[in-house]
Amino acid sequence: MLIEPRPIGPALWEIPLGARPGMHVPARVVADEALMQKMRADKSLEQLVNVTTLPGLVDFAVGMPDMHEGYGFPVGGVAASALPDGAISPGGIGFDINCGVRLLRTGVPHAAVAGVLETLVHELSRSVPTGYGRGGRLDLGGAEIDQVLAHGARWVVEGLGLGEPEDLERCESGGALEGALPEHVSERARTRGKDQLGTLGGGNHFLEVGRVAAVFDEGAARALGLAPGDLTVLLHTGSRGLGHQVCTDHVRVMDARIARERIALVDRQLAWAPSSSPEGRAYFGAMCAAANFAWANRQVLTQRVREVFARVLGPAGLHVEVVYDVAHNIAKIESHGGRALCVHRKGATRALGPGEPDLPERYRAVGQPILIPGSMGTGSYVLVGTAEARARTFASTCHGAGRALSRTAARRESPGHLVRKALEARGIIVRCPSNAELAEEAPFAYKDIERVVEVTERAGIARKVARLVPLGVLKG
């Protein structure tokens, strides 16, 4: 299929209605010419146009600057369907439900602890299990896992005593979605998740100790508690095997419905159901429950980080606080333009502007914190949302640099032991038991984070606050 987007505004492109049969809305992309070239090289533009054929979509489907090919939706794709009967599609959320990022501030100047950084990273690697299938210290019984699925991070704080009430205030949606229906999470999913709270997993998940290398907006940085030179910790993980199984289970149910009702799909990975249907309600409830599991996971990890900082740094390490926690792969019921919509964000971050009532009071004047990881060898950015993002992208922005190479291509490009050596030569401490996985996540496998963030800002959907650079990384 030949798809040629046309520019319609600053860093904004459109594929109009009629580019392929069955489109209900146009497709838009936030990008510059260089990023658009990368999107033309894979199937992400075609996938975004396919998304527009889902029933009930409103306004447009939109791709973020980090967009690349994914399952059904492209990674970096956002679309909203009108309630009650608009489509909900598991491909618009993905298998790693509520994969997301949490930023911790420590108040510890990097210069004061440079001599113990290797010890700090080593102790973190002992306390935080990494890799596919790895379990943690917690092994949940049936009643406990129901609490996690229903109440997310709140149950970890209030039921297990792991964390502070302020942690919840600084999480998107308070660390839990109200629509969770644990009864629609299968026994297989529960078994996969029962010992995985407090674990990173594999793939692109990581724990990164860094420092604030640059501040671009002093007022916003002050509101977020970020000072130049201070140590930070980024946690990137999601709902682990439980979320993957939830997606797998409900895709099968929707596939069966599609076959039973003889519904034609432009892509079999775009299985969907009306949000009001039994299949749609069951999937949404299970997806919310898996999202809650992911927030609980990042809450347990936060406490493990606090324990290590206190153990290694003594009194200096007692002030690890949550800056914010954002979801990347999720569907949420939101109001946009006075309409109740089911907003799918697949590899995309919510980006609320100043004054939004859903924000913590301390951030309301500056906008929602947005956390954009780059790669192990580059840097990451903290941004804040803008009021304009509501109309332009359903209050959404990018979630990272975005892959430039597939995992297979990255492994072919350079073996993991050379990636490790290159990172260590730059003073970055690496803890990863698998050279193969390290190769898959090499810095060259990702797009230029500087360009992605610059385009995001030029499009007016977020603005830069600070840049973080990596000092030590844990990978699966």
Residues acting as catalytic residues: 399
Q: How far apart are CA 370 and CA 3, in angstroms?
A: 31
The residue ranges of DSSP E strands in 69-150, in sequence order, are 75-82, 87-88, 100-109
Tokens coding 349: 């971050």
Decide: 92 and 85 in contact? Cβ < 8 Å: no
* Residue that has been written with the tokens 């390290």 in this structure: 438
CB atoms within 10 A of CB 137: 12
CA–CA gap between residue 197 and residue 296 (Å, rounded): 7
Q: How many helices (H) and strands (E) does the chain have?
A: 16, 19
Q: How far apart are CA 394 and CA 461, in angstroms?
A: 10
Between vectors from CA 412 to CA 411 and to CA 413, what angle results, nearest 5°? Answer: 90
Nearest to 45 by CA among 30, 24, 57: 30
Residue pair 466/381 in contact by the 8 Å Cβ criterion: yes
